[in-house]
Amino acid sequence: MEKQSKSEFRKDLSFLTTSGESFDPMVFLTSNDPLDDVYAVSRDNRRVIIHTVQRICVNNEAAGGTSTSVLLVGFDPISEPIDNLFENILLARRLYDYWQNLFTSKGKKPPKTKSEIGKSIIYLMIVSEEEYEEVLIDGVIDYFESNLSFKYEA
């Protein structure tokens, strides 16, 4: 994946990580660990690499000492917008969670190999254009059903 443009810093975008979960910038602000590059998908359907989380605080003494805080996420876009990418990753994560719940709701553990397959599908949908296209050919729901051997019932 090649970088498409310069870094952006945004407060108004949400992101999904390669696990399909929401990226929470507060985790990095409250941690002593450095932020390693995080591959993700932005709400505006681009693949990105998140590299920075910043908090900007502004105090307004004229308004009685009120302060405002804003979180900025710094990232490098590595693709142009891809139609429905964010929604498809979100759907993939929901299907994976649904599949896991089929086992955990009965007090069982999901099969480890199938669990790894589900995680890998989500990861590859984000980092690989070819894998993403393959999933779309079958459809996200059908792809998960056939690879994890279950039937999704909405």
The DSSP output letter for 62 is G
> Residue 33 pLDDT > 90, yes or no?
no
pTM for this model (two decimals): 0.86
Return d(Cα 132, Cα 140) in angstroms, integer: 9
Give tens-digit pLDDT for 64-80.
Answer: 778 888 899 999 999 99
CB 63 within 8 A of CB 104: no
Share of the chain above pLDDT 70, in %: 97
Strands 8-10 and 66-77: antiparallel
| Partners of 56 in beta bridges | 70
The letter for the amino acid at 28 is F
Return d(Cα 14, Cα 148) in angstroms, integer: 28
